[in-house]
Structure 1
Amino acid sequence: MRKTRRVVVTGLGVVAPNGIGKDAFWQNLIAGKSAVDWITAFDPTPFPCRIAAEVKNFRPEEFMSRRQAKEIWRFSQFAVASARMALEDAKFEITPANAHQVAACFGTCVSGVEKTEESHIAFLNNGYPAVPANSCTEYSTHAPVSYVSIEFGIKGPTMTLASGCSTGLDVIKWGCDQIRDGNVSAVIAGSTEAPLAPFCFAAFCAIQVLSKRNQTPTKASRPYDFHRDGMVLGEGGGAVVLESLDSAQDRGAPIYAEVLGYGIASEAVHLRKVDLSGSALVHAIRQALGDAQLTPSDIDYINSHGNSLPDYDLCETNAFKAAFGQQAYSIPISSIKSMIGQPIAASGTFQAIASALTIRHGIIPPTINYETPDPDCDLDYVPNRARVSRVRHAMTNAHSLGGTHSVLVLGKPEN
């Protein structure tokens, strides 16, 4: 990242399986409460996996007009709702005077798969007259950021990213670059996903990456545990307000964290298979630390990808050991996916928000369901209970299908 302007996080918005709003999200994280349950979005009985982390009790009309709530598809609803909460949290008002100085970037990977599937079935059964007129615009991956810009009057650059599970970190990088280049003074950066539809779910079942612990849903996602058997799909949306430090100070805005560094690298091995050496993640970690002008000993906490897939968790562990050396054994590492599942594009933003709250409150969320240690995954995963700890620098990493690794470093704001 270019360092011409310092960038800080001033607002957080969350629509997550474990809570709507940053406070509910955070309280349930530090309580170690799982949001995984039997699927209600559709009948899961034909599938080998019947559990997921759904967003429940979400009322879109609380964040937009009733007309919009009826027309806008679920993944875009998550985006608008989380953006509104982030802006309100930051006390940031977008006006005609500053609209061109605000940008927006949202990411999503499966976009409007739920309604697209319904529209496709209607088309197959009854031809094109049965397809809803809004299908052409609503299914688009660019719909969420478009709705955000329209809803809040954002007239600066808008961008959509889709880089798998790394998306939620990559949107923050894009936003930081916009601010550091002097293009804008603030960015709404977020990601959203609503993948809980039969066809999409069937595709994940087909590649055999989902846990089959249907009888004990809250125990299903168990990163780094010896008996982990796959990930749990999740959904939701998150957003952060990024500002130049000067802008935030001029407004007297509350600052959660400063964005210090970012790294990205690819394995270039296989779309699904993982390079267990973790060499790409090692490169991304070193790049992020160099960008932040920090050393391995400066990292106080890692909010890890930790998706409960055996090879992914092992890849991460090996990379942490290679990047941090003996220091890896003394850095607390935890995975919030043990509680909220894997919401694909939204996961990185949720992790970044959790990291910012960890820095603010000095509490590290646990990795729940860590019951039987894996001798190959032998680091400190903060098992089962939150931990009070002073965190000055937090690292967050994400790993996408296809072998992309993204790493973000946040720092405690200076007084």
Structure 2
Amino acid sequence: MNDAVHSFRIDIPEADLDDLRDRLRRTRWPQEIGDNSQWQAGTNLTYMRELVNYWLNHYDWRAQEAAMNALPQFRTVIDEVPVHFVHVQGKGPNPMPLVINHGWPWTFWDMHKIIGPLADPAAYGGDPADAFEVIAPSLPGFAFSSPLTHDGIFFNPTADLWVKLMSRLGHARFAAQGGDIGSFVAARLGHKYAHKLIGVHLHLAGAVMPPYPTAEDYAPEERDWGAKFATFMAEGNGYMQIQRTRPQTIGFAMHDSPVGLASWLIEKRRAWSDCGGDVEAVFSKDDLINTVMLYWLTDTYVSSARHYYETKGPAMAPAHDRQPPVEAPTALLQFKGDVWLYPRKWAERYYNLKRWNVAETGGHFAPMEQPERLVKDIREFYRTLR
């Protein structure tokens, strides 16, 4: 079995950048639907024109590429699936191995603000005793964990791959953290592999197996959370239905138009973050374009969407029927600006819940929006498990 791990550096061919610039210059702009100043019909045309102008005339991919390459990166192949990951050794007396998991429409780069503080607390004013050995993989089919040619890969099988990855790196037991799809990966680890997990830290709750939340689970102070979730499912989950049912259809547009891809991804950054309607209150133009570039330059929109399409059949079944489903010690930090929040009563049934917090500010992209708050909660939770 080939279990080699190779150092990796991002080095995009100049021809790919030239092709991108040509496509941006030749963008065929759509007509806008009425007054779309609040993005009520989707991505705002004026904003996209402004962003593309910046993309063409000010954005510097090579500078961003160099910043990404400052993180030690590696690639390996597990069960014929290519896996790219950042691996930063901890600086402290006993660093805890921690795999941190991103989501969609994220990339590994969304984790870069928390990697340094987790690995080297002292350099950021923290206690070296809280150090982690940080492993930040790209989900299969995302960015440099590509090409993904295997059927059936989504968050459940990804957990199986991560157990093998961590074993390959010398860790029989480890900790996990995640949000969005990454929260499902981390929860699956704490469900199927509880004996291997030191603990699970999440900043999004999601039920992918019974028991599911009910209206009675929401305490009086949580009632608006249930209404928020219902609104999201009624008005905000069109992307999910497309990606669960017909990702290949929309994939042709995403792979042919960088502006189309940017519109699809950036609308989610605005809608799901705690930005008050101003996406650049949270993400700079460089931040937004970096995300699009990592999908565009690696041709990974369709393979990333497969994490939705593949969520069906026997692979979705729970690994056991013990209670709670997620047996590993679990911490849940929810951010009030996120797209949904789940009730504590349900969380206490679903997880082996050891820590519960709700942050007043911050949204779906916590590692980018509120990195200090997230790092603080991760440190404090795992301090009790060292």
TM over 0.5: no
Name the TM-score, length of structure 2 as normaliser.
Answer: 0.29
